[in-house]
Amino acid sequence: MAYGGDTLWALMIFVGVGLLTQTYPTLRVAGVALAGCYGVEFSQLYHAEWIEQLRHSTVGGLVFGRGFLWSDLLCYTLGVGLGVAAEALWRQGQQAPVSRPT
């Protein structure tokens, strides 16, 4: 899967934001996660020497990426969308009535 890493990265950001802001509604968490993911992607259009050196390190490359790709924006949307869907399914399961033997 060529785009799996970017999708999982966005899902990880969604989960991280959700853990840090547990009182936020799901859609707000999704918005914050998408804003962060998109912000990092658009920052890749900036090519100052200091940030290029940072991007060439292992951690810098993983966090800030190395080059802007439009397809990454789609992957980020998909990853956050998967997080929203998973949370909705989980919440639905939590509200399901428990059947008890009579």
For 11-68, how does the pLDDT look when each residue is reduced to its tens digit (9 = 90+)? 999 999 999 999 999 999 999 999 999 999 999 999 899 989 998 999 888 888 888 9
Q: Is the dihedral of CA 30, 26, 82, 17 positive or negative?
A: positive
Residue 83 has pLDDT above 90, yes or no: yes
Instruction: Measure Cα distances from 65 to 6, 8, 46, 53, 83 in Å.
Output: 10, 14, 12, 12, 21
pLDDT at 64: 83
99 falls within a domain: no
Tell me if 102 is assigned to some domain. Answer: no
Count structural domains, the chain: 1
Does residue 40 fall inside a structural domain? yes
- Is 101 domain-assigned? no
* Any domain includes 65: yes
User: Does residue 72 carry a pLDDT above 90?
Assistant: yes
Which residue range(s) make up the domain with 48?
4-91
> Would 57 be classed as within a structural domain?
yes
In a domain, 60, yes or no: yes
Looking at the domain assignment, is residue 71 inside a domain?
yes
Q: Identify the pLDDT of residue 94.
A: 83
